[in-house]
Amino acid sequence: MLHKPGQFMIVSAAAEGRHGLTAFDAALLKAGIGDVNLVRLSSILPPGCEEAKHGIDFPRGAFVPTAYGAVCSDEAGELIAAAIGVGIAPDGSGVIMEHAGNCSAAEAQRKVEQMLEEAFANRKRELKEVKVKSVELRVGEKPGAVFAAVALW
């Protein structure tokens, strides 16, 4: 039996750590999805999937389908950012796009918005609504990470 998610949430966070991976882990914790197993997925939001107005307490170790963009860096002074966006059609179905890299949060957000517009144009479907979250971090003395995701359940 195939599972179709009924809810989603959009999260983003930045964090530092002694290592790139622990910075990434800290960003996941700040985003509210640090004690689960992220199952990376592509870019489709099922019809009728509703945005959760508040987070959910996932059971520790749960498998959570997630589309995300992330970047880690240990280069002091480097600006890193991640953005995630959901484009929603009139029928409630949607497309998810993400971007992460060496840029500002505003630049990452613009890129995601452009990709959502293109994805809907490719599908010849109307784009009714766009929801985007972005985050940036200027790397300091410690390694840093940025993370932006859509989790579905």
Query: Which of 105, 106, 119, 117 has the alpha carbon at shortest distance from 43?
Result: 119
β-bridge partners, 50: 7
Residue positions annotated with a catalytic role = 37, 42-43, 98
Q: Do residues 20 and 143 lie in contact, with contact meaning Cβ atoms separated by under 8 Å?
A: yes
What is the greatest pairwise CA distance in the chain? 49
Across the beta sheet with 50-51, what order do the strands follow? Answer: 37-40, 63-73, 144-152, 7-16, 50-51
Is the Cβ–Cβ distance between 68 and 84 less than 8 Å?
Answer: yes
Alpha helices for the chain (secondary structure H): 20-31, 105-123
How far apart, in whole angstroms, are the C-alpha atoms of residue 27 and residue 18? 13
Token pair 């280069």: residue:
75
